[in-house]
Amino acid sequence: MNKDQKNEVIELLKEKFSQYNNFYVTNTEALTVEQVGKLRRACFDKQVEMKVAKNTLIRKALESLDAEKYSGVYESLNNVTALMFSENPKEPALIISAFRKGSNGEKPELKAAFINGDVYAGDNQLKALTQIKTKNELIGEVIGLLQSPAKRVLAALLHHHEKQAEGTAAAAE
């Protein structure tokens, strides 16, 4: 790979890191070509972009954007690295978990995840990442919580109104 090709890869990676607030750094070293193909298809089906690049090029791309912001990711850049980019912060974690169950294996291994400015390092973080709530899920919960008291007040008013109507009907008799 010559210098121009390396610069091209770095620019492509910089574009992806700028485009997405969430990315996962995974180790796909022990996977067969067939397994990598299945993983790529699973990513494609869920609108997750998967890119494989050399660790030094990934590091250079991150450092050129914001060396301090991404500093927690640098330790994970070793062995074979596949990056997963997604708008949804938990989708790559779900893909990795489902892929492991389907293949009864330990790969792909999560090396690190960068979620909205926070770094989750290590494979032991995968379960927690599958349980992250998305923005839409949080908005739905807040709306549900806000609607709940209003529904109770309306129900109480209706119930009170019905009792009053029963009381006047009984008094009229």
CA 144 to each of CA 131, 139, 153: distance values in angstroms, whole numbers, following the listed order: 19, 9, 15
pLDDT of residue 171: 58
User: Would the pLDDT of 82 be above 80?
Assistant: yes
pLDDT of residue 173: 60
Q: 57: how many CB neighbours lie within 10 A of its CB?
A: 20
Judged by average pLDDT, the poorest of 12-26, 106-120, 151-165 is: 151-165
Integer-rounded Cα radius of gyration of the chain? 25
Q: 103: how many CB neighbours lie within 10 A of its CB?
A: 15
pLDDT of residue 84: 93
pLDDT of residue 68: 83
pLDDT in tens, 92-134: 999 999 988 888 777 888 899 998 888 888 888 788 888 877 7
Q: In the chain, where does DSSP find H-type helix?
A: 3-19, 33-45, 55-66, 91-103, 126-130, 135-172
| More confident of the two residues 97 and 161 | 97
Is the pTM higher than 0.85? no
What residues does each domain of the chain span? 3-132, 133-172
Residue among 34, 55, 22 nearest 105 (CA): 34
The CATH number of domain 3-132, selected from 3.40.1640.10, 3.30.70.1730, 3.30.1490.270, 3.40.50.720? 3.30.70.1730
With 0-12 CB in 10 A as exposed, 13-18 as middle and 19+ as buried, what is 166?
exposed
Q: To the nearest whole number, what is the mean pLDDT of the chain?
A: 84
User: Would the pLDDT of 85 be above 90?
Assistant: yes
Residue among 127, 99, 112 nearest 31 (CA): 99
User: Would the pLDDT of 169 be above 60?
Assistant: no
Residue 110 one-letter amino acid: L
